[in-house]
Chain A
């Protein structure tokens, strides 16, 4: 099961529906105990970093997210859910993110409209080999809604041009994240989510084998 973490912020349906559309067993999950059994985790998020971080902590799902990441469960953070993977954000000084990815979240460059609310072209980072972006064209268009974005670090696999280079996607092992909304980026976005479902399916078949092995001993 892919748990789409429901920590009480905004509309999380779209991510769940896109995954279900791709044939994945995805569910909105608010109960930490249920979320802990997931073999794939998606962490959406909309709005501001501070309230999202607080809600994530309050719900108990932040710990579940960290445990899943520590166990190597495929993990996908979207938009503010992506930003929460970092150490913190300029938007909410003093509020801690999960700190799974090094670096912090910064405001978009001066001189451009904020939020960026539009489609934009992805630019792959040279020398990165991305499972998240596998099979996509050269400069695919995706949909962004945000005023902040993580700083550029070695985990970044794609950026977009919005008053300068702005982080669009990052990947560190099985932890993936996108600043854009794959669930709202048409066929390109569905292809990104399909890549995640593929990674999850591999994990899930291992988990199923483990369950079968344990039950066969009883």
Chain B
């Protein structure tokens, strides 16, 4: 039996949970350990902490947060953000994190994925991919006036755009859409294709892919379902869909249309629009198998 995991994501800056829209408008959402305990009690299946702090000093703060969480929260949790070296990863895992997510460091040195996988076990090593849609190619066949960003209207919209293109005798939407990997918190384009990168990471021994759509992150427009599906269909390791959840329906879409193994969301939980328990009831009532929230 396959069950889908629901994962609240906590962006942590200097020891506090914050949430912003596309890395701006950050607001304080509380103490990470308290919030982690609350989500655990609500039935969260896992937690992800993303350390968005810049300074090395605050990195130590994150290690403390991890250690405190490990003393009180007995569900798996992943820590990402700023894991630059194998030593960073070691410190977090030793402090009690179950998994570390590598992003920029994996792109800079893919061997780090294998190296850490061998030392700690592949299941500890998550590769976080921040992906942004590439504008449709402007070749000889390109249509005048075509919107470059086909992702704005969700996966279904993207597919429709693709079908239009298909009528021109070109490939369908899924083959045509492509995404580029960004590093340094979304600031640095790498020229690497996101789907190919996911495949490579799986080959290097990553245990899981944490896939964030930069186009959707913080927009509350729903997951980039085409991106999610493209990666899910290309690798055999679990894929966590991230970026864009604004409604419970979006979670269902991520599991069904996107095919994700786990669903990550932040603001709908932090803002108390929905509890994790509500999200799970909604998923279950829409045919998605989840671990029921304890009542």
A13: chain B residues at CB < 8 Å are 70, 94-96
Q: Enumerate A68-119 residues with CB–CB distance to B below 8 Å.
A: 112-115, 117-119
Mark contacts of A12-52 with chain B using CB atoms, 8 A cut-off: 1 yes-contact digit, 0 otherwise: 01100110110000000000000000000000001110010
Query: Is A161's beta carbon under 8 Å from chain B?
Result: yes
> Which residue in B97, B118, B261 is a CB contact (below 8 Å) of A113?
B261
Query: Is B19's beta carbon under 8 Å from chain A?
Result: no
- The reply to whether A161 and B1 form a contact with Cβ atoms under 8 Å apart is yes
> Which residue in B122, B236, B294 is a CB contact (below 8 Å) of A187?
B294
Known: A14-B98, A141-B292. A47 touches B120 (CB 8 A): yes
Bound together, the chains give a CA A190 to CA B290 distance in angstroms of 20
Bound together, the chains give a CA A162 to CA B2 distance in angstroms of 7
Partner-contacting stretch, out of B71-79, B80-88, B156-164: B71-79
- The reply to whether A48 and B121 form a contact with Cβ atoms under 8 Å apart is yes
- The reply to whether B40 and A186 form a contact with Cβ atoms under 8 Å apart is yes
Bound together, the chains give a CA A126 to CA B292 distance in angstroms of 24
Query: Is B59's beta carbon under 8 Å from chain A?
Result: no
Query: Is A143's beta carbon under 8 Å from chain B?
Result: yes
Q: Enumerate B94-151 residues with CB–CB distance to A below 8 Å.
A: 94-98, 118-124
A189: chain B residues at CB < 8 Å are 74
Bound together, the chains give a CA A46 to CA B261 distance in angstroms of 21
Bound together, the chains give a CA A187 to CA B1 distance in angstroms of 21
- The reply to whether B121 and A143 form a contact with Cβ atoms under 8 Å apart is no
- The reply to whether A10 and B45 form a contact with Cβ atoms under 8 Å apart is no
Please give me the residue from chain B that is nearest to A11 by CB atom.
Answer: B93
Quote the shortest CB–CB distance from A122 to chain B (angstroms): 12
- The reply to whether A11 and B75 form a contact with Cβ atoms under 8 Å apart is no
Query: Is A184's beta carbon under 8 Å from chain B?
Result: yes
- The reply to whether B5 and A113 form a contact with Cβ atoms under 8 Å apart is no
Known: A21-B71, A183-B74, A186-B40. A11 touches B236 (CB 8 A): no
- The reply to whether B94 and A117 form a contact with Cβ atoms under 8 Å apart is no
Bound together, the chains give a CA A21 to CA B118 distance in angstroms of 30
B97: chain A residues at CB < 8 Å are 11
Query: Is A121's beta carbon under 8 Å from chain B?
Result: yes
- The reply to whether B74 and A115 form a contact with Cβ atoms under 8 Å apart is no
Please give me the residue from chain A that is nearest to B69 by CB atom.
Answer: A17
Mark contacts of B226-245 with chain A using CB atoms, 8 A cut-off: 1 yes-contact digit, 0 otherwise: 00000000001110000000
Known: A113-B236, A145-B123. A119 touches B1 (CB 8 A): no
- The reply to whether B120 and A14 form a contact with Cβ atoms under 8 Å apart is no
- The reply to whether B5 and A118 form a contact with Cβ atoms under 8 Å apart is yes
A183: chain B residues at CB < 8 Å are 74
> Which residue in A21, A48, A121 is a CB contact (below 8 Å) of B74?
A21
- The reply to whether A119 and B93 form a contact with Cβ atoms under 8 Å apart is no
Known: A48-B121, A120-B3. A115 touches B207 (CB 8 A): yes
Query: Is B253's beta carbon under 8 Å from chain A?
Result: no
Quote the shortest CB–CB distance from A210 to chain B (angstroms): 33
- The reply to whether B238 and A117 form a contact with Cβ atoms under 8 Å apart is yes
Please give me the residue from chain A that is nearest to B294 by CB atom.
Answer: A187
Query: Is A185's beta carbon under 8 Å from chain B?
Result: yes
Quote the shortest CB–CB distance from A127 to chain B (angstroms): 23
Known: A17-B70, A18-B74, A118-B2. A11 touches B261 (CB 8 A): no
- The reply to whether A47 and B121 form a contact with Cβ atoms under 8 Å apart is yes
- The reply to whether B76 and A143 form a contact with Cβ atoms under 8 Å apart is yes
A17: chain B residues at CB < 8 Å are 70-71, 96
Bound together, the chains give a CA A198 to CA B237 distance in angstroms of 38
- List, sorted by A's number, 13 A–B pairs whose CB atoms are closer than 8 Å: A11-B98, A14-B96, A21-B74, A51-B118, A112-B2, A115-B207, A115-B238, A143-B45, A161-B1, A162-B1, A184-B76, A187-B294, A190-B74
- Chain B residues engaging chain A, CB cutoff 8 angstroms: 1-5, 40, 45, 70-72, 74-76, 93-98, 118-124, 207-208, 236-238, 261, 291-292, 294
